[in-house]
């Protein structure tokens, strides 16, 4: 699905990612954990092509294509999706209108016919149920006046409407109460399939109670320093990160 | 700047026998007042950002019979379903194309003067109202009698065409009597190569009267436009103003609302779409003369190319005007590095128990929002258009008439589409 090799990224001349290697295969769910400021969001943003993140080294291969050469919209059309940590509000732009434009842009790129308003509405009604949102929600401006939980659920709604191959969820669990967390986790679980992959970025082991990751990685000082399974997440929850630092120092 | 050209035209005007002689004293009085004040210059505080030398130094001619159309003009391009229209072409009333809804009384200028006990409104001697009084050559006096709800909107379609540099001074009086309501649309269109329109509208709303006033200015990019809108509101009356300005080379709306009775309420909305070297100015004054009055100003400008714009909103709360609410919002979107906007929201408050707010923002397109849309597969141009439309929608959605809202949404999108492609 995606192969990241020795990826180095700078923001405003400061190196944040210092050689990240990651290989995600179809159907897998990878979790990336780490302290604040270790570069988790940088990794997410650079993959979707946010301009201020400068790639200084390395390659990213997404389903056989060089991802780093593509525009943000082409990446989305190729099947990459990021659930933003802080989704922006766009006053005046109707959520439904936006979703329809996005779905049709992606369909068009796949050579499929554009979906009309009637079919779109019945399609989106089904998806709304999956994230437990009522219909009035799609007639509001994009993320404008949404609560934190609503914003995150709107991200998941977009994900299941756009049907990406690889979804990156950047702290989608942060700031959610337990009910909202369950809804989001359920939305993702229902969406999992042998063809779809996920990279979940999180601070907490909490959401992993509702999901089954294949791999757990620790991002520290711009590198993925340790990989494991669910057990690793549990260790981190219990012991924090300092033992890994120590381990690193001993090896180093 | 001397008024020499206007003096010549004024003499011509007085000699045209199709204008009633009984109004001449008012015209002469207004013109001599204008000679005293002169046209505004940029030294006048309220004209600081708008240069009108093309008007004050212009050589505009009064509209002659020859400027009227030989055959009825084609108004199909401006068709609007479910409205009754009055058509005025280069200042000439097109009777055969005009009709008004039942219950609407149209008065002649003289009858209207009688109704006002011989008092002719010149709006505190503002130069362009004076010019209008001196040269008034077309327009309408619309009276809605007590307890009458006019469902069908009434529209005046102003068409300006030709290359003879004519000047037209429409004068519209609208009186909505107690507990009555009306939707009034003025639409300005045409392909004039050189043209100056100086329009004055006088609106009087009696107790509990309601007027929805929609103004669409989409005449040619070579015209000079002044719109002087004066509103007087009694208790419990409601004035909803909505305008789109996208035509004209130079355009200024001078809007002045007097809230004279308890619970009088005005809601003023303006959407500007400017391009090339257009200059579009919204100058708004709202006077809270009575306690418990409410006002809102909501003005948005979208500026392309090297166009320039002005928002000047002034809300004055008189000493005794307690428990009023007043809001001013001005938001501007600059779509070019060369575009320029001057925004000046002002509150003058002399009462102590009031609820007022004002705010102004001017900026480029929000890059984060743009990226958000792109990251969902929407290409950059479409994403931009979606955002600009979204910016405009906040104003467009305030149109209270559903049919007209639909028409204007469509028209606006088409105009924007052309500008962005």
Decide if B379 and A105 are in contact by the 8 Å CB cutoff.
Answer: yes
How many structural domains are present in chain A? 1
Contact yes or no for A30/A214 (Cβ under 8 A): yes
Contact yes or no for A236/A202 (Cβ under 8 A): no
Residues with Cβ within 8 Å of B172's Cβ and at least 6 positions away in sequence, in order, are B139, B140, B141, B142, B156, B186, B199, B200, B201, B202
Cα A53 from chain centre: 17
pLDDT band per the 50, 70, 90 thresholds, residue A252: low
Burial B301-321 (b: 16+ CB within 10 A, else e): bbbbeebbbbbbbbbbbbeeb
pLDDT band per the 50, 70, 90 thresholds, residue A249: confident
Short-list B175, B10, B199, CA closest to B88: B199
Short-list B155, B198, B183, CA closest to B54: B198
Predicted ipTM? 0.95
Kindly report, residue by residue over A153-178, the tens digit of the pLDDT.
999 999 999 999 999 999 988 888 88
Inter-chain Cβ pairs, chain A and chain B, closer than 8 A: 79
pLDDT truncated to tens, each residue of chain B (421 aa)? 468 899 999 999 999 888 888 889 999 999 999 999 999 999 999 999 999 999 999 899 999 988 999 888 999 999 998 999 999 999 999 989 999 888 888 888 778 888 888 787 777 779 999 999 999 998 899 999 999 999 999 999 999 999 999 999 999 999 999 999 999 999 999 999 999 999 999 999 999 999 999 999 999 999 999 999 999 999 999 999 999 999 999 999 999 999 999 999 999 999 999 999 999 999 999 999 999 999 999 999 999 999 999 999 999 999 999 999 999 999 999 999 999 999 999 999 999 999 999 999 999 999 999 999 999 999 999 999 999 999 999 999 999 899 899 999 999 999 999 998 8
pLDDT at B292: 98
Question: A128: domain range?
Answer: 2-251
pLDDT above 90 covers a percentage of chain A that reads: 69
Specify which residues B236 forms β-bridges with: none
CATH of the domain at A197: 3.40.50.300
In chain A, positions 189-228, which contact chain B (CB-CB < 8 Å)? none
Residues with Cβ within 8 Å of B84's Cβ and at least 6 positions away in sequence, in order, are B99, B100, B101, B152, B153, B154, B155
Judge whether A96 is closer than 8 Å to chain B, CB to CB.
Answer: no
Give, to the nearest 10 degrees, the angle between helix B4-15 and helix B24-37.
Answer: 180
Decide if B368 and A97 are in contact by the 8 Å CB cutoff.
Answer: no
**Radius of gyration (C-alpha) of chain A in whole angstroms:** 18
- Where does B177-319 show beta strands of DSSP type E? 181-189, 195-205, 210-217, 223-233, 238-245, 250-259, 265-274, 279-288, 294-303, 308-317
Backbone angles phi, psi at B84, to 5 degrees: -100, 135
Give the closest of A90, A93, A162 to B377, CB-based. A162
Where helices occur in B190-282 by DSSP H, the ranges are none
SS3 call for B80: coil
Q: Residue A93 pLDDT > 60, yes or no?
A: yes
Kindly report, residue by residue over A190-248, the tens digit of the pLDDT.
999 999 999 999 988 888 889 999 999 999 999 999 999 999 988 888 888 888 888 88
Decide if A87 and B372 are in contact by the 8 Å CB cutoff.
Answer: yes
Cα A99 from chain centre: 18
Give the closest of A72, A84, A87 to B374, CB-based. A72
Specify which residues B202 forms β-bridges with: B173, B230
- Contact list in B for residue A82 (CB cut-off 8 A) is 375
Decide if A97 and B373 are in contact by the 8 Å CB cutoff.
Answer: no
For an interface test with A, the pick among B298, B302, B368, B375 (most A C-beta atoms closer than 10 Å) comes out as B375
């Amino acid at each position: 699905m995606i192969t990241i090799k020795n990826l180095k990224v700078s923001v405003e001349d400061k190196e944040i990612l210092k050689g990240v290697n990651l290989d995600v295969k179809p159907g897998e769910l990878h979790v990336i954990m780490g302290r604040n400021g270790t570069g988790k969001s940088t990794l997410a943003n650079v993959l979707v092509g946010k301009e201020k993140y400068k790639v200084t080294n390395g390659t990213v291969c997404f389903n056989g294509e060089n991802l780093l050469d593509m525009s943000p919209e082409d990446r989305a059309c190729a099947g990459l999706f990021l659930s933003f940590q802080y989704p922006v509000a766009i006053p005046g732009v109707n959520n439904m209108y936006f979703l329809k434009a996005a779905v049709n842009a992606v369909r068009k790129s796949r050579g499929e016919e554009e979906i009309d308003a009637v079919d779109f509405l019945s399609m989106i009604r089904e998806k709304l149920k999956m994230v437990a949102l009522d219909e009035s929600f799609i007639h509001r401006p994009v993320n404008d006046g949404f609560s934190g939980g609503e914003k995150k659920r709107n991200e998941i709604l977009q994900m299941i409407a756009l049907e990406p191959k690889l979804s990156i969820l950047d702290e989608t669990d942060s700031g959610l109460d337990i009910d909202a967390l369950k809804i989001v986790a359920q939305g993702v679980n229902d969406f999992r399939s042998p063809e779809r992959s996920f990279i979940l970025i999180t601070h907490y082991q909490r959401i992993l109670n509702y999901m089954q990751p294949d791999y757990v990685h620790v991002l520290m000082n711009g590198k993925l320093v340790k990989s494991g399974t669910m057990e690793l997440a549990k260790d981190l929850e219990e012991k924090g990160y300092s033992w890994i630092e120590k381990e690193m120092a001993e090896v180093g | 700047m001397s008024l020499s050209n206007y003096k010549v035209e004024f003499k011509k005007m007085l000699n045209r026998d199709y204008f009633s002689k009984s109004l001449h004293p008012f015209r002469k009085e207004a013109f001599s007042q204008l000679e005293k004040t002169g046209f505004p210059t940029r030294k006048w505080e309220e004209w600081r950002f708008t240069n009108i030398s093309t008007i004050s130094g212009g050589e505009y001619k009064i509209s002659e019979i020859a400027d009227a159309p030989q055959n009825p003009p084609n108004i199909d391009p401006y068709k609007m379903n479910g409205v009754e229209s009055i058509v005025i072409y280069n200042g000439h009333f097109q009777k055969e194309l005009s009709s008004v809804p039942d219950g609407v009384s149209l008065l002649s200028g003289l009858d209207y003067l009688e109704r006002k006990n011989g008092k002719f409104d010149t709006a505190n001697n503002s130069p362009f109202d004076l010019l209008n009084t001196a040269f008034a050559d077309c327009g309408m006096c619309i009276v809605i009698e007590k307890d009458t709800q006019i469902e069908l909107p009434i529209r005046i379609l102003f068409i300006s065409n030709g290359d003879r540099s004519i000047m037209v001074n429409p004068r519209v009086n609208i009186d909505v009597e107690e507990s009555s309501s009306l939707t009034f649309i003025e639409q300005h269109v045409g392909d004039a190569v050189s043209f100056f329109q100086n329009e004055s509208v006088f609106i009087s709303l009696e107790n509990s009267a309601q007027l929805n006033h929609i103004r669409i200015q989409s005449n040619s990019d070579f015209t000079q436009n002044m719109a002087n809108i004066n509103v007087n509101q009694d208790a419990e009356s409601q004035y909803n103003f909505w305008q789109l300005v996208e035509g004209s080379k130079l355009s200024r709306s001078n809007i002045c609302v007097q809230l004279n009775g308890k619970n009088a309420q005005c809601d003023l909305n303006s959407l500007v779409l400017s391009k090339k070297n257009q200059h579009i100015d919204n100058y708004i004054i709202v006077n809270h003369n009575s306690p418990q009055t409410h006002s809102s100003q909501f003005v948005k400008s979208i500026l392309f190319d090297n166009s320039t714009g002005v928002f000047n909103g002034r809300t004055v709360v008189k000493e005794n005007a307690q428990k009023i609410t007043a809001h001013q919002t001005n938001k501007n979107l600059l779509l070019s590095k060369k575009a320029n906007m001057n925004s000046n929201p002002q509150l003058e408050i002399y009462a102590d128990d009031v609820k007022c707010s004002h705010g102004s923002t001017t900026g480029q397109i929000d890059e984060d929002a743009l990226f958000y849309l792109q990251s969902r597969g929407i290409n950059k141009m479409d994403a931009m258009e979606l955002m600009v439309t979204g910016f405009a929608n906040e104003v467009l959605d305030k149109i209270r008439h559903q049919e007209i809202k639909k028409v204007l949404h469509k028209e606006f999108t088409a105009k924007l589409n052309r500008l962005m492609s």
